[in-house]
Amino acid sequence: MKSYQLVLLTLILLSASAHAQNKITGKVLDKKDGTPLLGVNIIIEELKIGTATNPDGNFEFASIKNGFYTLRFSYIGHKTIIKSITVPGDDNLLIELEEGTVNLKDVVVTGNPFGSDAKDISQSTLSVSNLDLLIRRSSNIANTLNFQPGISIRSNGISTARPIIRGFGNNRILILENGLRMGDLSNTSDDHGVSNDGSTAERLEVLRGPASLLYGSNALGGVINIISEAIPRYIPDQLDGDFNISSASVNKDLAVSGDLHYGINDFGFHANYFRRKTSNYLGGNGIVVENSDQFSTGYQLGFSFIPSFGLGGLSYSSFNTKYGIPVKTEEEFFGEEEHGSEDVHSHHSVDIEMDKKELRFLIESSRLNSFINSFSLKTGYQDYEHLEISKETGEIESEFGLKTFSADLSFKHSPLFQNLNGVFGIYFLNQNYTIKGEEAFTPNADYFGIAGYFVEQLLIGKFNFQFGARVEKNIIKIPESELSGKKFEAEEKNFDSFSASIGVIYSLNDEISFFANAANAFRSPTIEELSSYAIHGATGTFDIGSRNLVNEKNIGFDFGFRLRKYHHLVELSGYYNRMLDYIYREPTLQFYNSESSIPFNNSGNGFPVYRYRQTDAELYGFELKAQYEISRQISITTIMDYTKGNQISTSTPLPQMPPFRFSVEPRYADDEFWFGFNWKLVADQNNVAQYEETTKGYGLVDLYVGTKIQSGKSYHIVNLRGENILNQSYRDHLSSIKDFALMPGRNVKLSYKFLF
């Protein structure tokens, strides 16, 4: 009996020990002078819980079970530290954070299902966060990312700027929010803005080069992922957040936003609100660009349940904006003799009202004890509406609607042969597109897409091989319609695609690696490219589509090397893309005037006619980013990129290719103060397509200065930025309105952030 009791007591003690609750405590200091750091973010990766240091630099996690854990320490202006600990065992940690620009511990999640370091990805990547995002943040993500390696912008005024990656734009790059498609029409036309305000992003990540395996059609040029805390991925131990207000002079921009995070037990909560109002912007020549104003507002609400075995969450967001589309004057557009035509009213100033409601759901787990060791399900539903309204009459000229449901279910399997890891999944997309109004330029359409994919990683010595494939089917159903007096029959278009890639990283040592990647990607034609046959009032053109268009196919090569040392970083990459059946919008010598006896004419009066055509093309170039820390506080960053695109059959240039660019940015930054300047040079663009105008090069100088002031348990952060301080008059080659409007002149932007 006593023996039985002894065994029972031993089992109880062992069980209690296995479930013992422990504390993780520690202190975070500035490595420079040993002073405590307030507000350092600390997250236990495995448990998805977070905390922050108090004014004495101390932190504590309570009720931690025995086990092995990974702690991530991050702080604005300092290098991130990742520390592995054992509980019980490691306690009263002493962490020293070093100031610096070069951060080698950022983990890029976009296009990286393995959660590996960015240096172990065979494609070119970049991320903008922390101090860089604070300094560069703008009213939209395109302006924030402009002049990053390989990234330029196509603008139609400040409000509708859209990113261009390596010469690819619109439907050839994907803009995601937390890994899912935006569900708007920003990729269909230069006048359609992105349904996201620049104030909401916690981080921006870019995957350059073909990315079709994980993201499908439209990812030929790359992917931009806007990462926010809409669905919280960790549980804070107290209420925290921030309040922001900013103002800019060039367009009288006034923006306010707020962000709140709260956690209790296994639940995390998040709320965000923003409001922005701008006036017409001032060009570098001192002339106001009419109808370039904007008003927008929106919010996000989200919560998550994060038990030990996974994460589940839901978010709801609303985005509403109204902005103007700059246009030529009547004299510029029609000439002196045609002002009486009814078509004149069609080109008058247009306002766009955009509204999007979005619901997202996320569930994932990384604690499955089987061949499938983790899974992730992301779903989203967006209800998007877009009105094009005559500014003079207030009448709705066109009304767009897009309802989108998308879902991505992925599984990560246990290692095979000890060093083969992989992910496989399925993807689903359903969209209902409608367009109404007298100036509807396409019929309605229904989109359906389904795909299966896998991506694997194989480690062999110093080589890291990554390979995968994707099979996708896209269906577009077009009903019977009548456009500009011409009838079109109903039709169903089917596009089947197969894509694959293989990449390799060779690590010479812990600091130097070489990478190469070969991939084929695809893009299905859009309804605008297939079926346009009308005036598009917002762009002032008459567009003609072709129902004979087929899938674009891209064979892309990406190669280069990375040098990543503690105080400097260099990434140089080259790329080559061969595009089969490249779809482009070709200007013609014709003009359209419905009041003329011959609507399509060569008189030069009316709306310029553009046709969608296909050809084989090639795009190639290089990009360089080099960062060097002269000291802990002083750094210099150099960026250079170049892209060239040609039609293969004729060797004539493709339209709207970005010119060669170079920038250099010295910066001083310590824990409480930073300043720097950015000198940007853009070359002439004389390599232009038929009917496309050349543009002259230009140079811009930006300055910035900021400070972070501690106040009890909170921070006040002030940043002052001057853009184009020499007030240069210039035309950007990618601007859609460069023939009648200059880019913005001198701009002084002041921002204040209260962090608590």
Instruction: Flag whether 113 is in a domain.
Output: no
- Per-residue confidence band for 254, with pLDDT thresholds at 50, 70 and 90: very high
pLDDT for 337 equals: 43
Q: Which residues form the domain of 223?
A: 124-755
Same domain, yes or no: 84 and 222: no
pLDDT band at 348 (very low <50, low <70, confident <90, very high): low
Q: Give the 3-state secondary structure of residue 86.
A: strand
Distance between CA atoms of residues 391 and 386, nearest Å: 15
**For residue 340, is pLDDT > 60?**
no
| DSSP class of 170 | G
Supply the pLDDT for residue 217.
81
Give the separation between CA 565 and CA 103, rounded to whole angstroms: 10
Mean pLDDT of 180-188: 87
The domain boundary residue, chosen from 82, 98, 114 = 98
Domain boundary among 63, 98, 133: 98
> Which range among 18-27, 317-326, 386-395 has the greatest average pLDDT?
317-326
On whether residue 106 sits in a domain, the answer given is: no
Asked if residue 501 is part of any domain, the answer here is yes
Judge whether 295 lies within some domain.
Answer: yes
Q: What is the pLDDT of residues 112-141, one digit of tens each?
A: 888 777 778 888 888 888 889 899 999 889
Helix/strand/coil for 99: strand
For residues 516 and 597, membership in a common domain is answered with yes
Q: Are 294 and 386 part of one and the same domain? A: yes
Residue 307 sits in the same domain as residue 372: yes
322 and 405 assigned to the same domain: yes
Which amino acid, 292? Answer: S
**Residue 715 contacts residue 38 (beta carbons within 8 Å):** yes
Q: Does 17 or 188 have the greater pLDDT score?
A: 188
Q: Does 365 share its domain with 514?
A: yes
With beta carbons less than 8 A apart as the criterion, state whether 209 and 257 touch: no
- CA–CA dist 75, 222 (Å, integer): 29
- Separation of alpha carbons 413 and 466, rounded Å: 15
CA distances from residue 126 to 109, 123, 224, 638 in whole angstroms, order as listed: 11, 10, 10, 14
**Residues 172 and 91 both lie in one domain:** no
**Inside any domain, residue 117:** no
Mean pLDDT of 192-212: 87
The pLDDT score that the predictor gives to residue 616 is 96
Its pTM stands at: 0.88
Does residue 197 share a domain with residue 79? no
Number of domains into which the chain is organized: 2
Helices (H) and strands (E) in the chain, counts: 7, 42
Residues 600-658 have pLDDT tens digits of 888 778 889 999 999 999 999 999 999 999 988 899 999 999 999 999 999 999 989 99
Of 138, 401, 417, 342, nearest to 255 by C-alpha is: 138
Co-location of 417 and 272 in the same domain: yes
- Residue 98's Cβ-count burial label (10 Å; 0-12, 13-18, 19+) is middle
Residues in the chain: 756
Most confident of 103-107, 124-128, 325-329, 507-511: 507-511
Do 81 and 157 fall into the same domain?
Answer: no
Ramachandran class of 157: left when φ > 0, alpha when ψ lies in -120 to 50, beta otherwise: left
Looking up residue 54, the CATH number of its domain turns out to be 2.60.40.10
Mean of the pLDDT values across residues 231-254? 92
Section 136-150 average pLDDT = 92
Q: Residue 247 above 60 pLDDT?
A: yes
* Predicted pLDDT at 726: 95
Q: What percent of the chain has pLDDT over 90?
A: 55
Start-end of H helices in 464-553:
527-531
pLDDT of residue 361: 97
Q: Mean pLDDT over residues 577-598, rounded?
A: 87
Each residue of 43-102: pLDDT tens digit? 888 777 888 888 888 998 887 888 888 888 888 778 888 888 888 877 789 998 887 767
Residues 388-395: what's their mean pLDDT? 86
88: preceding bond cis by omega (within 30 degrees): yes
Which pLDDT band, with edges at 50, 70 and 90, does 363 fall under?
A: very high
**pLDDT tens-digit map of 525-559:** 988 899 999 887 667 789 999 999 999 999 999 99
pLDDT band per the 50, 70, 90 thresholds, residue 344? very low
Per the domain annotation, does 103 fall within a domain? no
SS (H, E, C) 579-598: EEEEEEEEEEEEEECCCCCC
What are the φ and ψ backbone dihedral angles of 135, each rounded to 5 degrees?
-75, -40
The string of DSSP codes covering 161-175 is: -EEEETTB-GGGEEE
Question: CATH number of the domain that 165 lies in?
Answer: 2.40.170.20
Please check whether residues 210 and 327 belong to one and the same domain.
Answer: yes
Task: Look over the chain and give the mean of its residue pLDDT values, rounded to a whole number.
Answer: 88
Instruction: Identify whether residues 206 and 303 lie together within a single domain.
Output: yes
